[in-house]
Amino acid sequence: MDNYIVSARKYRPSTFQSVVGQKSLTTTLRNAILTNKLAHAYLFCGPRGVGKTSCARIFAKTINCMNLTPEGEACNECESCRAFNEQRSLNIHELDAASNNSVDDIRSLIDQVRIPPQLGKYKVYIIDEVHMLSPAAFNAFLKTLEEPPHHAIFILATTEKHKILPTILSRCQIYDFSRISVSDVVEHLQYVASCEGVTAEPEALNVIAQKADGGMRDALSIFDQVVSFTGGNITYRAVIENLNVLDYEYFFRLTEAILNGNVRECLLILNEIISHGFEGQNIITGLAAHFRDLLVCRDEATLVLFEVGSSIRERYKEMAKRCPEAFLFKAIELCNTCDLNYRNSRNKRLLLELTLIQLCQLNRPTTPSPADSSQKHLNPLNANAKEDRQSPSASPQAPATSQAASSDARPTVVTTHIPSSASMPSSPSATPKRTTHAPIGASLKEIGSVKPKAQVVQETQVVDQKESFTQEDLQLCWDEFSETIEQKVHLKNTMINNKPVLLSDSQIEVPVYNPGQQDELLNNSLEILSYLRSHLRNTHIQMSIRILETNENQKAYTSTDKFKLLSDINPTLLKLKDEFNLSIE
């Protein structure tokens, strides 16, 4: 039985022509060989599995070839080429810097460099993973790398160029290898499949290429794995099952439900996906990529960015025609926000569900009322709930709600706003409170109110008012409200200790000392604003809450600081300390 060789080794390129996806670099190397303009040191850098070491070996074999072809390729027939192909060449030395990274290893290499080649023109030293060399080894290598013997050529290969000393970089010609495109990977996989007698669907190979993320070695390894799983008949269904990849069908079903505004269907599809073992972050990133693909399908000029198989391309084009660009822009933004907040969220599934609910509201038509054109209609999860809220005398309206996001981060400034057309009860107990947290990274956020069913039925339109008021009027009204909230001790203390400041005709600011006071005012902002607007006869009042910067950076008091503050208030403490000879610890 013959020994099995994996495809990544069996189909490793042996000529510049067979290197996949690096045409510009291979052309440069061939021209340098043909014109005999060879540098003494090269640095090949780029992601894993894109052909750095393979190109280094091909380059080393070609410069020692005795009968170059007109295209600048090795002949594979001369003694030097045969010695290289049989792995017995004495002119090509490979060093793994990951395991040979000491000064002694570099000194041994320097000793070998002095010996001229016995066959051919050059001795080539390929140092792989060169960034693993120790700083002392790099310094020992500097002089030889700068002025090597005329017969020595160094080829350094690395995946992390930023870890290499600038003194090394300045002595090398740098070649940056790029990731291999999906189309190039698919084309090479089709060639390998034909050579191996394997039947493969183009969609299946496309999934393998996307999973490889631009690395040909990874693609060939996945290809061998799928061949073993399918027995030589690679299908799209078998690939996504073996690699645990989300099917396109899920995303098309989600998009269909989102366009129809069907929240319940979206939640059921999400539950189905999670039940198959997929991680929530993979779901939301996959959905974002799906919306991105729909966006690039809308324009012929951006179709070059669309990397899926031809069989599914028409389905994407058909779905893209139904998705307005504004909808896709906002959908991608919502998915990206969910992705950013996912790691910090305590209830990750709820975050996904809230994002899907927001997506379902994007494509719904809105009919703004004359009093407030910025107000939106949101349909409830239960279709029957809409009928319960309707009244013959008034059209039901639900104000816009704030975006769902993680509640861990607190902004420095939060602006609370109640639409001027909303009803404003005279007593604070008549207005329900709603706790709203700003998303991570936001410094300014609009906070809406949610009315209970009874309030929606009895809602009456309030006349727009904008009477001017003074700082004294504001202060008096603020104190009057604080006297009416005996039940809320924390809010009352916060309002007593933090007074509002009138910034303009309708803008007030409340400086606070800590995030706890900020949250207390924020959570009760609807009641406070309703009272102020009603008693000051100004429906345009806006309130911002700011944490004092001097307090944000204040350090904790030490024992000495505490005693000093207390003694300033009560000088008797100093006398007590002296009489009893007390010490502060």
182-243 — its CATH code? 1.10.8.60
**Separation CA 155–CA 148 (nearest Å):** 13
Nearest-CA neighbor of 419 among 361, 374, 460?
374
DSSP code string of 398-428: -PPPPPP--SS---SEEEE---TTS---SSG
Q: Please report the sign of the dihedral spanned by the C-alpha atoms of residue 140, residue 145, residue 146, residue 150.
A: positive
SS3 251: helix
Please report the pLDDT score of residue 428 as a whole number: 40
| Span between the terminal Cα atoms of the chain, in Å | 82
CA distance 298 to 498: 54
| Token pair of 307 as six digits | 């990397």
C-alpha triplet 336, 341, 343: angle, nearest 5°: 120
**pLDDT (0 to 100) of residue 356:** 92
Residue with structure tokens 């069913």?
453
Residue pair 571/544 in contact by the 8 Å Cβ criterion: no
Burial of 317: CB neighbours in 10 Å, binned 0-12, 13-18, 19+: middle
Residue 206 tokens read as 């496309």
- pLDDT at res. 426: 40
Q: What is the pLDDT of residue 174?
A: 92
Q: Give the span between the Cα atoms of 21 and 291, in whole angstroms.
A: 28
**Which residue is listed with tokens 């997506």?**
359
Residues 6+ apart with CB under 8 A from 68: 33, 34, 62, 74, 75
CA gap 530, 337 in Å, rounded: 32
Distance CA(509)–CA(515), nearest Å, equals 15
CATH number of 248-362: 1.20.272.10
pLDDT value of position 310: 64
Q: Are 80 and 65 in contact (CB under 8 A)?
A: yes
3-state secondary structure of 431: coil
* Two structure tokens written together for 408: 């861990």
Domain 7-176 homologous superfamily, CATH: P-loop containing nucleotide triphosphate hydrolases (3.40.50.300)
Bridge partners, 44 (sequence order): 157, 175
CA–CA separation, 483 and 493 (whole Å): 10
Q: How far apart, in whole angstroms, are the C-alpha atoms of residue 85 and residue 81?
A: 6
C-alpha to C-alpha distance for 336 and 331, rounded to whole angstroms? 9
Cα separation of 200 and 190, whole Å?
Answer: 8
Contact 90, 46 (CB under 8 A): no
Distances (CA, A) of 382 to 140, 367, 402: 74, 21, 20
DSSP structural state of residue 507: E
Is the Cβ–Cβ distance between 501 and 544 less than 8 Å?
no
pLDDT at 357: 92
**Rounded mean pLDDT for each run of 10 residues along the chain, 585 residues in total:** 78 87 89 89 90 90 87 86 85 86 87 83 89 88 86 91 89 90 88 88 86 86 88 85 83 90 91 88 90 86 71 81 88 92 89 92 60 43 43 39 38 42 40 40 38 37 74 88 82 87 86 86 87 87 81 61 81 83 77
Q: What are phi and psi of 468, to 5 degrees?
A: -80, 155
CA angle 264-266-269, nearest 5°?
110
Closest CA to 227 of 192, 260, 261: 192
Tokens of 136: 């002392």
DSSP string, 512-573: ESSHHHHHHHHHTHHHHHHHHHHHHTBTT-EEEEEE-HHHHTPPPPPHHHHHHHHHHH-THH
Q: What's the Cα-to-Cα distance from 323 to each of 34, 284, 285, 331, rounded to whole Å?
A: 54, 18, 19, 10
Burial of residue 312 (number of CB atoms within 10 Å: 0-12, 13-18, 19+)? middle
Short-list 249, 254, 168, 242, CA closest to 208: 242
Q: Is 499 left (phi over 0), alpha (psi -120 to 50) or beta?
A: beta
d(CA 416, CA 433): 12
> Is 52:44 a contact under the CB 8 Å cutoff?
yes
CA 44 to chain centroid, in Å, comes to 28
Say what the pLDDT of residue 585 is: 66
pLDDT of 523 reads: 86
What local confidence, expressed as pLDDT, does residue 330 receive?
92
CB 113 within 8 A of CB 125: yes
